[in-house]
Structure 1
Amino acid sequence: MVMNAIRWLVFAIAALVMNFPVIATIVTALKTPADVISNASLIPRAITLDNFAAVFTVSERLNIWKYLWNSLSASLIGTILPILLCLPLAYAIARRDFGRDLLLPLVVNLRAMPLIIFAIPLYMMYQTLGLLDTRFGLGLILAVVNLPLALVLLTNAVAEIPRELDEAAGMDGARTGRILTRLTLPLIRPAIATTFVFGFITAWNEFLFGLMLTTSKAVPMTVGASFFFSAGGGGVQWGVAAAVIVVASAPPVILGLIMYRQIGRSMLAGAVKG
């Protein structure tokens, strides 16, 4: 009984320490401007939703709904496209050893390179193709960012499926495309869900390319949120800034909470098999 209480106490302390910035941000978003300045504790004297109301109030310069839509559109493109591209490639690598020694390391090593080195050539290419300040253009570069992650996760997932299942399906007359869609795809759904969640979070949180490739029409939430820090003039309005951070963080957090069972299933699959 005592040991159980100690475990819960340690868990509570660890959770508080790790989530302290999140808690502080949420509390600040619920404080009045005067309370933010005079009260540094995590207990607000009075709870207000005025900061959130200010965030969702559309003005000529600030439109959070547009920023959210831009981020959602670009993130979905940047998440779904790598999955569609990497699924057949992962099957070819895992089952046919196609590109295992060259293509796979080359694609994976792209993620290790600093993204800033692509800034100038990418901007010039987008300017030539007319993709600047477009959701599709932003989604394309987010797809490139997510390609290594998607390829590694899906290749490992396909490799964990026994080859005997493919051979049995082949003996029954199933072609490669049918094996991939009817046999392999259902078996790696947890890995696809994990790839989607991780890719969406990465795409949603991307700031560099959002800042570099957009100006007004396709500004994502990460860039648009920074506009609220001085929206009212006279310095930073910390309550409004905290509120917009909470709003900007909500979609990936909600997605992670909804899909956490699928993620856990995918992460444990390899360990259970081993």
Structure 2
Amino acid sequence: MRRALVGCIALAFGCGPIGLFLVMRRMSLMGDAMSHAVLPGAAVGYLLAGLSLPAMSIGGFIAGVSVVLIAGLASRFTELKEDASLAAFYLLSLAAGVLLVTRFGSQVDLIHILFGSVLAVDNAALYLVSTIATLSMLTLAVIYRPLLLESLDPAFLRASGNRGGWYYQIFMLLVVLNLVAGFQALGTLMSVGLMMIPAVSARLWAQSIGYMLLFAIGIALFSGYGGLLLSFHFDLPSGPAIILLAGSIYAVSLLIAPAGGVLGRYLRLRHLER
């Protein structure tokens, strides 16, 4: 439980800001696509070395980066948009990963890779997750302003002489890295949950980017801690408990959040009518 808690804390600081930038760029479903894209690489790493953290992480990272590059090339040299290319490639990746694991492994192996087990996180996984979270925060601190401008007004960034494409590529690498980190604890299907749900909820509670970042990290921290408590006291699977708690916070945010919830919007309309 202690290792699981430390892993959730690291994931909150790494995935929260990444998820918020995905929301701001209207790429919320990109995280889901990329979480599936790492599956075949992780499956190949597992088949070659068993439940080896380095092998599965390296395989997942290579697969995720490959899908990003291939989808980018497809959108550049064809009429397809990047989201359409990613949709096709992530479905192919998911099918390939499931096929590899079920053909050469077992159903238990498939369940472990798809859904993970945060209570099975060991010291090596903690070092990896913490290193990726630290690297993500430092990198975002360096590229924060141009990445924010590229997310909100890419035309102005290009007109000012900056190459927004580089910041986008760096950001996508961070997305893949954090999904690889989340995959170690929550599996490929649920790792994106801790990245996107707190970020979407934060968008409903604040209007400034700084406060959104704080809310995204805070909600992810509370979801990790509260989900582990629920799993301990009610004998629930930890990963789903964490994601469902984050989803419950999102549901409450839809109703009462002041910046974008139903109640906040109603109060603003009443104020304008007066």
Superposition TM-score, scaled by structure 1 size: 0.28
Superposition TM-score, scaled by structure 2 size: 0.28
* Richer in helix (by share): 2
Q: Which has the larger radius of gyration?
A: 1
